[in-house]
Amino acid sequence: MNQFINANPDACIGCRTCEVACILSHGEEIKSLETAHFNARLKVIVAANVTVPVMCRQCDDAPCAAACPNGAIELKDEHVVVIQEKCIGCKTCVLACPFGAMQVKVRTIPRVVNGQHIGVRYKAEALKCDLCSSNPQGPACIRACPTDALTLVKPVELEKIQRERQLAAIQRDPRLGA
């Protein structure tokens, strides 16, 4: 079972601090708040009655990985990662993700030959939450959230929550324990 980030919609105020922390944690520069330049690996959704970040659930049997024709998405160290060198930007993962947590962005890469800039090339990249795997402090979004709306749920904690709910259900209706 993989760890994942859980978002509490009752605590989320829609400030997007988690998005900014995500971008900065991945060493990217925030050039603009326009969607084309704002490459957070999570997305705060603002609806009529709720705001909540949507991010990768780190599925154990990840539909995005199963759908990827190049094997660019795989399970590594208890989370699902995108191997950018293999990604061709086909967007199959976007279609396969039941949570809408995948996105594909096109990055402009300068072409340099013999030290001279001769133009640009474009590289499509699938982006998703990677739990800030390169950051020893863990997910930046959790640390940055001013309302503590985000928590990292580890398999042991999930099993504990499941057991507590099972016991609570039995206490409400003892016939369930029979």
Length of the chain, in residues? 178
Centre a 10 Å sphere on the Cβ of residue 51 and count the other Cβ atoms it contains: 17
Q: Is the pLDDT of residue 81 over 60?
A: yes
pLDDT at residue 35, as a whole number: 61
Final residue in a domain of this structure, among 128, 151, 169: 128
Q: What percent of the chain has pLDDT over 70?
A: 93
pLDDT (mean) for 93-102: 96
Taking alpha carbons only, the member of 96, 100, 90, 97 closest to residue 69 is 90
CATH number, domain with residue 7: 3.30.70
Both 121 and 144 in one domain: the answer is no
Number of separate domains in the chain: 2
Q: Are 60 and 1 in contact (CB under 8 A)?
A: yes
Domain that holds residue 6: 1-55+131-178
Both 51 and 61 in one domain: the answer is no
Q: What percent of the chain has pLDDT over 90?
A: 57
Of the listed ranges 34-43, 88-97, 155-164, 165-174, the least confidently predicted one is 34-43
pLDDT at residue 34, as a whole number: 63
Q: Is the pLDDT of residue 30 over 80?
A: no
pLDDT at residue 36, as a whole number: 59
Both 60 and 119 in one domain: the answer is yes
Q: Is the pLDDT of residue 178 over 60?
A: no
Both 123 and 161 in one domain: the answer is no
Render pLDDT for 130-153 as a digit per residue (tens, 0 to 9): 999 888 899 999 999 999 999 999
Both 14 and 71 in one domain: the answer is no
pLDDT (mean) for 32-56: 83
CATH number, domain with residue 95: 3.30.70.20
pLDDT (mean) for 9-14: 94
pTM of the model as a whole: 0.81
The pair of three-digit structure tokens given for residue 52, joined into one six-digit string: 């909540």
Both 137 and 116 in one domain: the answer is no
Per DSSP, the three-state class of 21 is helix
